[in-house]
Amino acid sequence: MRIEQLQAFLAIAETGSFGQAASQCGITQSTISRQIQALEATLGALLFHRSTQARLTVAGEKLLPRAKKICQEWATIGQEIKDLQAGKQPDLCVAAIHSVCSHFLPPILQQFCVDYPQVQLRVTALGSDRALKVLRDGLVDIAIIMNNRFLATSPEMTVALLYEEKIDVLMAANHPLTEYEQVPPTELIKYPQVVFKDGYGMQRLLQEWCSIHNLSINAVMELNLLDAFRGVVRQGEIVALLPETALIETSQDNSLAVRSLAPILDQSQQKSPQPLTRQVVLVSTSDRLTIPPIAHFCHLVRQRLTHFDQQTITKSLSA
């Protein structure tokens, strides 16, 4: 059963004539006759009494209301898809990690609302794993997350690198580790740490870093809010490894201190020591990027964050 067969059926039912229905549908009378014959063969019943006027049979009467409903739904979905491709979508949903939501998205959201005032923005702060899941489930259109190796296993995902930033050590202002400009990892692991909960990219990053360098940290607490990290660290010996953009608000807090983490020399390959960093990426799907509002939002994000380099982050921290 094809939609044009149902459309031909409705045209004949409305006009009472195969010839008039053919003109209305923009096809020949022989074509519309073949369409009805194919539909009747599929259903196993005659739909019209063929006489001077085409009249519905009992089977035709049964089909009529359902054919109208099917064709109306077809017309509706066709219009909705055309509207979607034209940028006429009711909302745009974004999931992003907390630091991006706090520091980078506000001006982007404001500009998008100016450019697409008819589109309702819905933004949720989530951990990287959760944000990626809701994107895959079709609950959001865009995810801004930490890069991870699992993204490479999803060919439908489009991934754009936005920026890379160092991981620093957050501690109380009077913490013993403040004597270091760069905290040696061997000294860092002597103190208890607060870490992100499972499902956050930062936890996975630290686990992989510790595994590579045969380090063992004493994780005494798991949190997911930056305010909570600052509150816990402020109290005593507990420290935290956090990305620099998550530490911008600490620059004016005299009760907290931030130190760089000393890079570890790779003895096996004799490479220059590399700092611990994370990459932040924008993720969507190739089909979503053909939709104008989504494509425009991604453009605004890339425009603002792709050139957000290490020097800019450091300037923000010292401001």
Q: What is the CATH number of the domain that holds 60?
A: 1.10.10.10
Alpha-carbon gap, residue 24 to 220, rounded angstroms: 75
Give the tokens for residue 204: 């996975």
Q: Are residues 283 and 175 in the same domain?
A: yes
Same domain, 218 and 257: yes
Residue 150: pLDDT band by 50, 70, 90 thresholds?
low
Q: What is the pLDDT of residues 234-280, one digit of tens each?
A: 988 999 999 998 888 887 889 999 999 998 876 555 566 778 999 99
CATH assignment at residue 245: 3.40.190.290
Q: Nearest CA to 187 among 202, 195, 175?
A: 175
Tell me what pLDDT residue 319 has: 46
pTM of the model: 0.73
- pLDDT tens track for 68-100: 999 999 888 887 777 777 666 788 999 999 889
Both 40 and 101 in one domain: the answer is no
Answer yes or no: are the C-beta atoms of 278 and 165 closer than 8 Å. yes
Domain final residue, candidates 59, 85, 111: 85
Distance between CA atoms of residues 102 and 297, nearest Å: 17
HEC assignment per residue over the chain = CCHHHHHHHHHHHHHCCHHHHHHHHCCCHHHHHHHHHHHHHHHCCCCEECCCCCEECHHHHHHHHHHHHHHHHHHHHHHHHHHHHCCCCCEEEEEECHHHHHHCHHHHHHHHHHHCCCCEEEEEECCHHHHHHHHHCCCCCEEEEECCHHHHHCCCEEEEEEEEEEEEEEEECCCHHHHCCEECHHHHCCCEEEEECCCCHHHHHHHHHHHHCCCCCEEEEEECCHHHHHHHHCCCCCEEEEEHHHHHHHHHCCCEEEEEECCEEECCCCEEEECCEEEEEEEEECCHHHCHHHHHHHHHHHHHHCCCCHHHHHHHHHC
Whether residues 299 and 193 share a domain: the answer is yes
Q: How many structural domains comprise the chain?
A: 2
pLDDT tens digit sequence for 161-171: 999 999 999 99
Residues 222 and 277 in one domain: yes
What Rg, from alpha-carbon coordinates, does the chain have?
A: 31
* 76 and 105 assigned to the same domain: no
**Of 36, 55, 85, which marks where a domain is finished?**
85
85, 109, 133 - which closes a domain:
85
Indicate whether 48 and 174 sit together in one domain. no
What domain range is 28 assigned to?
A: 3-85
Does residue 134 sit in the same domain as residue 180? yes
Q: What is the pLDDT of residue 166?
A: 93
